[in-house]
Structure 1
Amino acid sequence: MTENDAMENAASETETVSEAPAADGAATRIAALEKEVADAKQAVLYAAAEAQNVRRRAEKEAADARAYAVTAFARDLLSVADNLERGLAAIPAELREDEKLKGLIQGLEATGRELANVFQRNGIARISALGEVLDPNKHQAMVEIPSDQPAGTIVQEMQAGYMIKDRLLRPSMVGVAKKAE
């Protein structure tokens, strides 16, 4: 091999060596940029998902606020309904037949029916209790009463309970059967 050939081989090896680092540097730079793009896409996806979750949560909270906005007012009206019911129950049978009081009693009964209709229109429903099995999600046991009914059956309702849509507004206060001794 001549001296020229040796020099040419050395020059071509130098070019190859100097091109290799440049090619490796470009490949490394491209890989880094591709990783940054992938990370940015992932961050955008997470942000979009989070925005959608926030929007759904806000829509649900707004719907709940509309549906249950009357809860405090409804609780206050329950005491009115209770007092009206107790007042009507306290009227003796002989006074119910008295012509002087018949109009008053009919007016009070009509008021009670109208109040029940208002409750119904607003999604407020009375919880059935008598004869039912005690449900701690709807009933509050106040006393145990010896009875021939199966234990845990509601045999007395002391105060009516109410639901507003699918939520408990007030539990029924009840007496529950226990085995007679």
Structure 2
Amino acid sequence: MKKENDKELKNKLKEAEKQRDEYLEGWKRAKADFINYKKEEGERLANVVTSAEGAVIEDMIRVLDSLNLGLVSCREETPEKKGMELIRTQLEDALKKYGVEKIQIEVGEEFDPNTQECLEVLESKKPKGTIIEEVEAGYTMHKKVVRPAKVKVAK
């Protein structure tokens, strides 16, 4: 009778251990699923924020373009022009806080299709494939191109 009791207890113990292992595996899977969910949700939220930021940044860049055009048309130094220049500086500083930087273009440098868009290829005394004019400024945000610089390139 004692052997039967021992055998029965051993069977119950094995069954309990098996059930424990199943619960532990289920818990581990649930934990891994939850960790993956948190990671994916964080990435999704970051993409939503980045997308929204990008749209606002593009709008701000267009405002900066308009402001620059207005400043070019002001030939004389007036208080209004100085005020517009201050506003431009504030806008540029605000953009910098969000990681936006103007793509630096030098006439005569090699055309870079990663950061520049060629609008026109023209005859020039400059070497072939070099920039002869910047038509519109380009910008990056956190090292990613938001808007390529629009340039004219030597033929």
In the superposition, the TM-score normalised over structure 1's length comes to: 0.62
Alpha-carbon shift at residue 177 of structure 1 (Å): 1.9
Distance 1:134 1:39 in 2: 62
Query: 2:36 aligned to 53, 58, 61, which one?
Result: 53
- Aligned pair in 2 of structure 1 residues 68, 124: CA closer, same or farther (>3 Å)? farther
Alpha-carbon shift at residue 63 of structure 1 (Å): 3.0
Distance 2:29 2:119 in 1: 51
Match of 1:118 in 2: 94
Q: How many residues align?
A: 143
Match of 2:138 in 1: 161
Q: CA RMSD in A?
A: 3.1
Give 1:16-165 correspondences, 5 Å limit: 48-92=31-75, 96=76, 102-131=78-107, 132-165=109-142
Counterpart secondary structure, 2:64: helix
Structure 1: gaps spanning 5 or more residues? 1-29
Distance 2:130 2:36 in 1: 44
Q: Indicate if the aligned counterparts of 1:153 and 1:177 stay in contact, CA closer than 8 A.
A: yes
Rg larger in 1 or in 2? 1
Counterpart secondary structure, 1:112: helix
Cα-to-partner distance string for 1:14-46 (whole Å, 9 max, x where unaligned): xxxxxxxxxxxxxxxx9xxx8xx9999877766
Structure 2: gaps spanning 5 or more residues? 1-13
Alpha-carbon shift at residue 110 of structure 1 (Å): 1.1
- Aligned pair in 2 of structure 1 residues 53, 106: CA closer, same or farther (>3 Å)? same
